Chains A and B, each alone.
Chain A
Amino acid sequence: MSRVGALLRKELLEGVLSIRSAALYLTSVAVLSVFAVTLVSNREMSLLDNAQAVYLMSCIVLAMGLLVAVIRGGDSFAGERERQTLELLLVAPVRGREIALAKLGGTLLAWVVTFVLAIPYVWAVGSTGQNLGPALVYLFVSGALLTLIFGGVTLIVSTRTRSLMAALSVGLTLFLLFGSPVVLGPSLRQSSVGRIIDWVNPFAHGLNMLDSVVVDSQGISFQLAHLGVLAGYAIVIMLWVSLTTRRVRL
């Protein structure tokens, strides 16, 4: 196995089998469970249309996936630096770019695990309704692209910071910043400023795409713009990651 392959394998194993990862997945599952129980125990919410319930659940899955991506991205270099294990990585005959690739691979795998764990929840709230299949497909695709975007940005921050806390703070602030216009609701997004924010915000693109697919039953032609913007962001961030990690300092 090549050195990069070995590094990727280590990251993938850590992404699934480490105690830290298990804690992250358990937290994600606990959040989804609480939300699912809230849906059935609240009278108003239990009357929600299945498509609406699937959309809400998908939004939470997406948010949990991004949170995991931000934590893993922040941990990638700053965490190794703080645990004093970065030196070992840097003296290994692999380039910084390859280390970053392996770290991003681990982050992407974390999204796959989060998604797989979320499938039963999405099924439970939406199996009798419409668009469950497309909802899962678009959730997976948008989540993967957003994981690369947010995970990539926090990885870049992580290469520059000395402490994990600093990298996480920046990552979580970015996450809240991009998430806040979406949380503030549709009325704010109707204004011209809101529309501009919606257009530049990758998280909003992910959620709008899910809304369009699940609630409005719109086809792929309506999603091409969202997918294009998300893919564009992902490519730019990957190039940026590649440039930033050419030389990683201890």
Chain B
Amino acid sequence: MSRGCLLSLCAAGVALALVVPTCHAAMQSPILVEIHGPSEPLTMGDTPTFNGTVTNRGDWNLKGLIVYLSLVSLKPGEERPVDLEDWSAQKAVRIDELRPGQDNTQEWPMRLIQAGRYGVALTVVDPNESQPIISDLLTFDIASKPTLSSSRIVPVAFGEPAFLVLLVGLYWFRCRFRRS
């Protein structure tokens, strides 16, 4: 066997050794986390509720689990995490105790303020484990909706200055008339 082949085998072995424990840890985790979204199409301004479920598949009690939501923009060119505060979404939930076989369901309401493609995932952190458990990414689209109506804004934008000019003009004429 050539020296190159031996080196490649060693590298592959090291890589496998690094990957396998990680997969093993993930597979061994007793926590199952899932997130479900609304099935109907979403539009800006909607306030849908996403449902999260955390299940304890293990044989022992889990205590002090922290569950939090992550929202990312997947719109091409604007890929970034989204500030949940602006979307009026709850930031984290603490599960005091989850007995074997028990599940915990949370509701994650959200106000959709911007159009685009988004992904949402739930993360569960067990204080006794080194690795957080993350649900599958749930992707969804938000259709745009013009929220500002020109029929309301244009009359105010042109009407109010005109009204004010008229008032000032009338007042000025009144003052001049009185003086004369």
Residues on A close to B: CB < 8 A? 17, 19, 22, 25-26, 29-30, 32-34, 36-37, 39-40, 45-53, 117, 120-121, 123-125, 127-130, 215-217
Contact = CB atoms under 8 A, between A and B. Distances in A.
A40 B152 CA distance: 10
B153 A40 contact: yes
Closest 6 CB pairs of A and B: A49-B113, A33-B157, A124-B156, A36-B157, A40-B150, A124-B153
Contacts of B115: 47
A58 B115 CA distance: 23
Contacts of A48: 147-148
Interface residues of B, number: 29
B158 A33 contact: yes
Contact of B164 (A19, A36, A117, A217): A117
Contacts of B153: 36-37, 39-40, 124-125
A34 B160 CA distance: 12
Contacts of B147: 46-50, 53, 128-129
B75 interface: no
A36 B156 CA distance: 9
Contacts of B148: 39-40, 45-46, 48, 50, 53, 125
Main SS class of interface, A: helix
Contacts of A127: 152
11 contacts: A29-B160, A34-B157, A36-B153, A39-B148, A47-B144, A47-B146, A48-B148, A53-B147, A121-B157, A215-B85, A216-B85
B114 interface: yes
Contacts of A130: 111
A120 B160 contact: yes
B171 A37 contact: no
Contacts of A29: 160-161, 164
B26 interface: no
Interface of B: 44-45, 85-86, 88, 111, 113-115, 144-150, 152-154, 156-158, 160-161, 164-165, 168, 171-172
A26 B158 contact: no
B171 A215 contact: no
Nearest to B165: A26
A216 B160 contact: no
B135 to A, nearest CB: 25
A189 to B, nearest CB: 13
B168 A22 contact: yes
A54 to B, nearest CB: 10
Given A25-B164, A30-B161, A121-B156, A52 B146 contact: no
B44 A46 contact: no
Contacts of B152: 123-124, 127
B141 to A, nearest CB: 14
B118 to A, nearest CB: 15
A16 B28 CA distance: 74
B47 to A, nearest CB: 10
B82 to A, nearest CB: 13
Given A17-B171, A26-B164, A47 B44 contact: yes
A45 B144 CA distance: 12
Contacts of B164: 22, 25-26, 29, 117
Contacts of B161: 26, 29-30, 33
Nearest to B161: A29
A152 B134 CA distance: 54
A17 B113 CA distance: 42
Contacts of B149: 40, 128
A70 B179 CA distance: 33
Contacts of A123: 152, 156
Contacts of A33: 156-158, 160-161
B143 to A, nearest CB: 10
B154 A40 contact: yes
